[in-house]
Structure formats: C-alpha cells, structure tokens
Amino acid sequence: MEQEDILGTAAQWRDAGRDVGLATVIATWGSSPRPVGSQLVVDGEGRFEGSVSGGCIEGAVIQTAKDVMQSGQPEVLEFGVSDEQAWEVGLACGGTVRVYVEKVD
C-alpha cells in the first residue's frame, strides 16, 4: 500500500472519531523487509492497514500504537537480529529497523 493511502486512511479514521496511531519506519540497517518511510495505521480497536515489517514486529508495533493512543506520548521502537541469529532461524542475514509511533490528533 502506498504511503499516501495510509495517511488518507488515518485521516478518514480520525474524522470518523476513532483513536488513531501511526507507525513509520525511520531507519533500517542491514536486511529489512520494508524501506524507510513505510507506514502502518492502527485504530483504537486494533484494526490496521499498511506494514512496517511483518511477523512479530508488526504485532509489537500495533500494541505500542494502542499504548501511544492512550498516553499521547510518541515512542521509538528498535528491533534487530544479528547475522548469527538470522542464520539460525533460516534468514539470509540480520538487520535492524527503527519505528516511530505517534498518535494522530
């Protein structure tokens, strides 16, 4: 999904009175499934669109977005896996992704 679609969805959800959180990939090192600028929008009930990574990282980002919607305080999350750990779970190489999570007002 394109970035503009995510921002449009965030605006529509906010205009409909939903709590909305927005997660944006702000940095990557090594292998990362999604590039810098990738976004994920989440509402207060856990519905989401877009992607910042995949798998368990996305679940953690969604939960953090719910927390950020409640607190109003943005957070920066960092997830990483070493090359050695990546090899053990069948991935070609490791990497790190940093995600900024904010409430949409």
Distance from C-alpha of 5 to C-alpha of 61, rounded to nearest angstrom: 19
Predicted structure pTM score: 0.85
What does the DSSP 8-state code read for residue 94?
A: -
Give the three-class secondary structure for 49: strand
Pairs from 83-90 (Cβ < 8 Å, separation ≥ 24): 83/30, 86/31
pLDDT tens by residue, the chain, 105 residues: 445 689 999 999 999 999 999 999 999 887 777 889 999 999 999 999 999 987 778 889 999 999 999 999 999 999 886 666 655 655 556 678 899 999 999
Alpha carbons within 13 angstroms on the beta-carbon side of residue 98 total 6
